[in-house]
Amino acid sequence: MKNFHKTYYGLKHFFSVLLPLLAITACSDGDAGLEGLQGPQGEQGEAGEVGPTGTVDFFYSDWIPSELENPLPNGLSGFNIDSQQFTSLLKENGALFVYAQLTSKEVTPLPFENPLIGQAYNFSITDDDQLRILVVNIAEMGSTTPLIESVRYIIIPGTEQETGKAPAQDFSKMSYSEVAQYFGITD
């Protein structure tokens, strides 16, 4: 019986080592089994804190009185507004919007024209970084009194956008009052 007891414990020890080895080596990279059933939906997590409101950097001028001659000469004329901001802020895809306050107190974006009286208004940036307000007047067609009382510009500095996403707002399609409200500009 002593031998049986030694043999039994020897075999027990042998199998306790052999069975785990067989289990490990018996696993192979065979075909994947069927996918299990979808588990239940987890609970909704808590809402995060509201982040700070985003801002757009921008600059705007006061209303600048018109320096157009009155009466307007026939042909092209205009006046300049000097600002160091034009070139430096517009370099990287910046936007410049110029608005005219008319003698009727209506505000309209430049360029605009009034063909009934033969006047067309526009703007440009000169080589020496000045904003030039231009008017073409055809005196034979109507009035020689300028329609512009004052002008204001808004500059939205450019940034390098590598995302390729469209801007959040298209200010070129907005009226002056919409742009002023968006930026909080008061007259």
Q: What secondary structure does DSSP assign to the chain, as a single string? A: -HHHHHHHHHHHHHHHHHHHHHHHHH-------PPPPPPPPPPPPPPPPPPPPP----EEPPPEEP---SSPPSEEEEEEEE-THHHHHHTTT-EEEEEEEETTS-EEESSEEETTTTEEEEEEE-TTSEEEEEEEE-GGGS--S-SEEEEEEEEE------S-PPPS--GGGS-HHHHHHHHT---
Residue 36 in domain: no
pLDDT of residue 168: 62
pLDDT of residue 49: 75
pLDDT of residue 18: 43
Residue 127 in domain: yes
Please give the residue that has the higher pLDDT: either 166 or 144.
Answer: 144
Residue 72 in domain: yes
Residue 50 in domain: no
Residue 32 in domain: no
Residue 78 in domain: yes
The model carries a pTM of 0.63
pLDDT of residue 107: 95
Please give the residue that has the higher pLDDT: either 109 or 54.
Answer: 109
pLDDT of residue 8: 47
Residue 39 in domain: no
Number of domains in the chain: 1
Residue 21 in domain: no
The pLDDT > 90 percentage for the chain reads: 27
